[in-house]
Amino acid sequence: MFEKLQRLGKSFMIPIAVLPIAGIMLGVGAAFTNSLMIETYGLQWLLGEGTILNYILSTMGTIGNVIFGSLPLIFAVGIASGLAMQEKGAAGLSAAIGFVVMHSVIGKVLGFLGHTPATTTADYFLSQGMTVLEAAKQSNVYGYELGMFSVKIGVLGGIIIGIVVAVLTNKYYDKKLPEALSFFSGVRFVPIISVLAASIIGAIIPFIWPYIHLGISTFAEFFGKTGPVGIFFYGFFMRLLNIFGLHHAIYPLFWFTSLGGEMEVAGKLVQGGQNIFFAQLADPNTLRFSPEGTKYFMGGYLPMMFGLPAAALAMYHTADSKKKKMVGGLLFSAALTSFLTGITEPIEFTFLFVAPVLYGIHALLEGLAYAILYALKVAVGVTFSRGIIDFTLFGLIQGNAKTNFIWILILGIPTALIYYYVFKTLILKFNLKTPGRGEEEEVKLYSKKDAMMKDMDIEEVIEALGGRENLAEVDACITRLRVTVKDASKVADDATWKSKLKAKGVFRKGNGVQVVYGALAEILKNEINKVK
């Protein structure tokens, strides 16, 4: 399950990778075509309707908006191609077809059940004797996808189709059919079986989704009532899950599905925290962004922009004097990366590797940042990370009246001081071997790869495979190191692999050896190919 979640999280990164450019386009386009902003600063001559810049900026906003509006389809294609072991292109195409088929079947079944656009409005349910709240919840179950009347399953529908199509691709990409149907064998069979599967899913969803939707809404309401306490645990556990890369499998559910809340924006029901923020961003009538939409990500601004750079400074000040010059350049680069872009891995995995207690404190402080900013009703959005670039676009440019961003700046200095003194004190008190401390000559920042390779000797792995001269081909899939050897008898026994080399399992067939290492498999492949 752990390995499957890692793979799923990795596949989520494919569709999520498009969000930064979409967010920048929408952020810049919406900000500089806002009539109130233009009138306030007297920029009608430059940015008003009919000007060239207005055409360009409004087009940018439209591009960003359509990408966010198409996220369910983007997730379906991205996850299918990301999880497919073979024929990724066919998987992506099949997922797109399957997504459309699923929603068309849902619409057809809803019609058979008597649910139409006219019979799924709040007014209609009120006429049937429901209370205002019951009618609103019931009507929120139904909506449109790609112009088709369907249920509001949103990104979750894309995730389901993406996973199902990937499984079918991995199973049937080399399927052989009888001679008379041989044209449809292999990769051509994938879209066929995908359409059938999507049709079945589409036929089932109308019967179960209303109950699931209401259940998710109830849970989201309950989680919302936990207030800052619940958000603290959310931020804390997301940072801990980052160690294993599992956060990528969790936070999209809060960002893009009803698990992250629902809100009506510009007359449309929007699901998911980030979707809510960008829907409000695109709506010129928005006077104040909702903290309920941004609470699942904005807490990261304090540790990423202020906390971790201060931790880097603490590591620099505690480094051995003769190594400070070398350490300074490395830590400054990592701190600047965190501040500008919110990419924190170079710093985080450095102290995770040598001092896990520092990472635990970092996770606690990040959880507190989430809780405090939410309690202060700060509402600054993000695209993917939380550096000064996103802060400028979705905080400063939008204005304090809409975002309450000033609290991030006010709390930034205390956050930096806390990180600095906590890290410095613990490093000195427990003599933690952060960069530039200790007898080792090498001074470096550690990466996720270093953390995963801890206590692993690549030469021992090669020796267990029979030595360099025994290696014919070395490859890897998501979880397995796949090796073709010249003499299978030279490969170490299973007990050696599991006890000494930390393998989770070994599979052998002829001269082929597959060693299960989870996410480490790809790293081992690369390291072996470097030295073999």
Q: Write out the catalytic residue numbers.
A: 477
**Residue 508: enclosing H or E segment and its boundaries?**
strand 505-509
**Torsion (CA) 262, 265, 268, 271 in degrees, nearest 10:** -30
Q: How far apart are CA 202 and CA 45, in angstroms?
A: 52
Query: C-alpha distances in angstroms, 82 versus 6, 7, 10, 16, 414?
Result: 12, 8, 8, 12, 41
Token pair for residue 145? 């996808």
Tokens of 143: 């909506």
Q: Reduced to 3 states, what is the DSSP secondary structure of residue 149?
A: strand
Nearest Cα to 33, choosing from 397, 529, 403, 373?
A: 397
| Whether 376 contacts 409, CB under 8 Å | no
How far apart CA 65 and CA 174 sit, in angstroms, is 39
Cα separation of 66 and 467, whole Å? 54
Convert 200-232 into a string of H (helix), E (strand) and C (coil).
HHHHHHHHHHHHHHHHHHHHHHHHHHCHHHHHH
- Evaluate whether 355 touches 367 at the Cβ level (below 8 Å): no
Of 284, 300, 274, the residue nearest 71 (C-alpha): 274
The values of phi and psi at residue 176, to 5°, are -105, 125
Tokens for 504, please give them: 């989770």
Phi-psi region of 178 (alpha: psi -120 to 50; beta: other; left: phi over 0): beta
